[in-house]
Amino acid sequence: MHLMTFMTIKKPSIWFRALVLGAQGVFYNAFFLSYLVSPRTCHRFVGFLEEEAVLTYTRCIADIEEGRFPEWATKPAPSIAIDYWRLAPNATLLDVVKAVRADESTHRFVNHSLANLKQKEDLNPFAIREPDMSTKGSRPGFTREESAAFVEESRQILEQTRH
């Protein structure tokens, strides 16, 4: 959705869109084959990629808020972003960038957490529920031990709701 949002804003040429589609096709297949070989490495790679995205969007937000891109502070958010992230009707591009950064933070957290697990032994800590945004936004991921504790906590919550 991030790509769709920014393409809606930029409205790139058909050639640029074709290049993006081609790059996605190559990456998708390479990542698929890599995941078959080493899921842990793929999750770690994506975790680091998302860390860089969080840093980039954080810098972008700072630049907008410090007045370096005044047109971005007041430019209305596209309807695709307002609908997807449930933003206010008067949301701006700054609000969109903040929503995208929050998504990237979640992706970072989930992928680093999954990379810390033993794939054949550990349960997915996110199968039942997700941690709150203050947890996902303040650290890169769960350790293996924290994942196990989160799974147990989730089981207890699930048991309480069944009774």
**DSSP codes of every residue in 114-155:** HHTS-TTTSPPTTSS----HHHHHHSS---HHHHHHHHHHHH
Report residue 76: phi and psi, to 5°.
Answer: -65, 145
- Give Cβ neighbours of residue 25 (< 8 Å, ≥ 6 apart): none
Q: What is the pTM of this model?
A: 0.83
- Whether 63 and 97 have beta carbons less than 8 Å apart is answered as no
Domain extents for the chain? 2-122+134-144
- Angle 35-38-39 (CA atoms, 0-180°, nearest 5)? 60
| CA-CA-CA-CA torsion sign (98, 99, 103, 106) | positive
CA–CA separation, 146 and 14 (whole Å): 46
pLDDT band at 151 (very low <50, low <70, confident <90, very high): confident
- The secondary structure of residue 76, as a DSSP letter, is B
CA–CA separation, 60 and 54 (whole Å): 10
Architecture (CATH level 2) of domain 2-122+134-144: Up-down Bundle (1.20)
pLDDT digits (tens, 9 = 90+) for 42-87: 999 999 999 999 999 999 999 999 999 998 989 999 999 999 999 9
The residue behind tokens 């920014």 is: 6
- Give Cβ neighbours of residue 74 (< 8 Å, ≥ 6 apart): 92
- Whether 46 and 114 have beta carbons less than 8 Å apart is answered as no
- Whether 58 and 137 have beta carbons less than 8 Å apart is answered as no
pLDDT digits (tens, 9 = 90+) for 126-139: 887 888 877 777 77
